[in-house]
Amino acid sequence: MGLIAKVAVVVLVISFMTFVAFFGRLPALRHTPVAWLHRAIWVYIPNGVLALDQALTGGRIVASAGTFGHSVWYGRHPTVLIFYILLLSVGEFLYLPGAWPRLSSFHQVVGAIAIILPYVFLYLAASSNPGVITVATHARYMSLYPYDFTLFHPGQECRSCNLLKPPRSKHCAVCKRCVARLDHHCVFINNCVGYGNQHWFLLLLLSTALLTTYGGALGLRMISENARARSTLFALWKHPQQSWHHYFILLTYGIQLDVGVGSVTLLTVMTSPLVWGLLGYHTYLIYCGTTTNESLKWQDWQVEMNDGFAFRRRLPIPRKRHPQFEASWTRWPVEPAQILVRTEDGQPPNDAAPPGNGPWEPVRHLRDIENIYDIGFWDNLVDVFVPNHSFRAESQPDLERGKRPKKTKA
Ligand SMILES: [Zn+2]
Ligand SMILES: [Zn+2]
């Protein structure tokens, strides 16, 4: 195998594994081979090893691996974080010696900034408190959002932390703690992505996407210059008069002239769509006023609705909050106007007791249920990027809920 072919294989494998690690758990890919591969790596293969060990040695090997094996699969450890830093640093180490002298001073300044930013945001995302819920912080996180009586109902306690679950919070199984507005646990930053650090996580994605695109574009230009030194006919966008065979020979020559720049450029060209895709996905979640965790819950509700097990009824406005289970005040401008429940038998609940009043009606579509955590794209963004922003002061008239003028989405 030639050098270029080896580099291409390494680049392909890294890109593909990055893709699986990034996208494997996304709800949109639930029934695709990518999700299957993600499960294979994290569930099927470890379970297969367990079963094999059980059959052959009565489980002795796994038992002796003991807590080590357990912490590798289920614990919080910085392996992927280190992999990510290595990928960045080794890439820069290979790319810069060849590329730097060929860059204009403008690109040297912009390039230096583009290189530094991902490290800064990685540090901030990894080291910030994602919104850990403790006895001391509980009251504050209870006052961020009201319960929507759809995804989050008052009165539910985390069995591990022994605290009432604030609206939009979730217990992180990896870090063993409850986190406010937990989006997901991210292995790349070895930290939860939650209320306290989601903005750093998004800026990390954005800065990485810009770096890979910028580095890739400059790299392609250099490869193209190398190839053009051999034949003036070469252009990245293949000239119609040029044969594919000739084009690839020149391209390979351009890459081979500086293998560092060439291989890193290939890597950036293959990985930057993934990073942009992930950034786009998270931007879409913010546009919808939801999180990765909540999007899974919404999907589950869609299944209940398809099966005819979902029912709703009105919540009175204004509503008397439960003094024991709900904060007396939240900074959120919208209050729930309905309660959504599931029944086992597809019959409306015969429970007349509050919360809610009036008849129960079946719900067939998610679009019939309002997401109170979606207050329009701009305000959703403000909620992510300006922690503790109070939406109440400017939205006082909307307190009588349900009627809040929603920004229309194109
Ligand atoms: Zn918990
Ligand atoms: Zn976590």
pLDDT in tens, 69-104: 555 556 788 888 898 999 999 999 999 999 999 999
Indicate whether 265 pLDDT > 90: yes
Give exposure, 19-51, as e/b (b: 16+ Cβ within 10 Å). bbbbbbbbeeeeeeebbebbebebeeebeeeee
Mean pLDDT of 114-129: 97
Output the pLDDT for position 74: 62
Residues 162-220 have pLDDT tens digits of 999 999 999 999 999 999 999 999 989 999 999 999 999 999 999 999 999 999 999 99
Closest listed ligand to the CA of 126? 2
pLDDT at 395 over 50: no
* Ligand 1 center–CA 376 separation, angstroms: 30
Ligand 1: distance of its center to the CA of 170 in Å?
A: 7
For residue 135, the CA-to-ligand 1 centroid distance in Å is 11
Give the mean model confidence (pLDDT) for residues 323-345. Answer: 90
What Cα–Cα distance (Å) separates residue 345 from each residue in 229, 341, 349? 74, 12, 9
d(CA 97, CA 265): 14
Interval between CA 271 and ligand 1 midpoint (Å): 35
Looking up tokens 């379970």, which residue turns up?
47
Longest dimension (CA), the chain: 83
Does the structure show a pLDDT above 50 at 407? no
Range from 3-17, 102-116, 125-139 carrying the lowest mean pLDDT: 3-17
Of all ligands present, the nearest one to the C-alpha of 170 is 1
Distances (CA, A) of 128 to 186, 189, 193, 291, 383: 13, 10, 10, 19, 17
Task: Name the band, by pLDDT with cuts 50, 70 and 90, for residue 15.
Answer: confident
Classify burial at 392, counting beta carbons within 10 Å of its beta carbon; exposed 0-12, middle 13-18, buried 19 or more: middle
Tokens of 54: 């059980």
Over the stretch 206-258, which tens digit does the pLDDT of each residue have? Answer: 999 999 999 999 999 999 999 999 888 888 888 888 888 888 999 999 998 99
283 CA distance to ligand 2 middle (Å): 21
Q: pLDDT tens digits, residue range 368-386?
A: 999 999 999 999 999 999 9
35 band by pLDDT with thresholds 50, 70 and 90: confident
Ion ligand 2: residue ranges with CB closer than 5 A: 172, 174-175, 185, 192
For 72-186, strand residue ranges (E) read 170-172, 177-179, 184-186
Residue 396 has pLDDT above 60, yes or no: no
Average pLDDT of 23-29? 68
Instruction: Give the mean pLDDT of the chain.
Output: 87
- Residue 132 pLDDT class (50, 70, 90 cuts): very high
Distance from Cα 209 to the centre of ligand 1, integer Å: 33
Alpha-carbon span 361 to 51, nearest angstrom? 47
pLDDT of residue 126: 96
Q: Does 280 score more than 80 pLDDT?
A: yes
pLDDT band per the 50, 70, 90 thresholds, residue 272: very high
Which ligand has its closest atom nearest to the C-alpha of 177?
A: 1
Identify the nearest ligand to the CA of 178 by its number: 1
Question: What's the number of CA atoms in the CB half-sphere (13 Å) around residue 338?
Answer: 20
DSSP 304-373: HHHHT-EEEEE--SS-PPPTTTS-S--S-S----EEEEE-SSSSPP---SSS-EEEEEE---GGGS--TT
- Of the ligands numbered here, which is closest to the C-alpha atom of 174? 2
Q: Enter the tokens of residue 186.
A: 């991210």
* Residue 336: both structure tokens together: 């729930």
- Cα angle 104-110-116, degrees, rounded to a multiple of 5: 130
Q: Is the pLDDT of residue 46 over 90?
A: no
**What pLDDT sits at residue 24?**
72
Using the mean position of ligand 1's atoms as its centre, give its distance from the Cα of residue 183 in Å. 14
Proximal ligand: closest to the CA of 293: 2
**Distance in Å, CA 179 to ligand 1 centroid:** 8
**Ligand 1 center from residue 154 Cα (angstroms):** 15
Q: How far apart, in whole angstroms, are the C-alpha atoms of residue 111 and residue 275?
A: 18
| 80 CA from centroid of ligand 2 (Å) | 14
Q: What is the dihedral of CA 316, 317, 320, 326, to 10 degrees?
A: 100
Q: How far is the CA of 169 from the centre of ligand 1 (A)?
A: 9
327 closest CA partner among 135, 146, 132? 146
Please, which residues bridge with residue 312 across strands?
340, 361
The pair of three-digit structure tokens given for residue 331, joined into one six-digit string: 């900074």
Give me the helices (H) in 196-291, please: 198-230, 244-257, 259-287
Cα of 223 from ligand 1 centre, angstroms: 52
Which ligand is closest in space to the CA of residue 130? Answer: 2
In the structure, what pLDDT confidence band is assigned to residue 402 with cuts at 50, 70 and 90? very low
Q: What is the pTM for the complete model shown?
A: 0.82
How much distance in Å is there from the Cα of 297 to the middle of ligand 1? 18
- Three-state DSSP class for 89? helix
Whole-angstrom distance, CA of residue 209 vs CA of residue 205: 6
- CA atoms of 135 and 117, how far apart (whole Å): 35
Q: Which of 279, 285, 270 has its CA nearest to residue 18?
A: 270
Q: Are 171 and 160 in contact (CB under 8 A)?
A: yes
Q: What tokens appear for 157 in the block? A: 């306690």
Residues recognised as catalytic: 186
**pLDDT at residue 145 above 70?**
yes
pLDDT at 279: 95
CB–CB of 143/331 below 8 Å?
Answer: yes
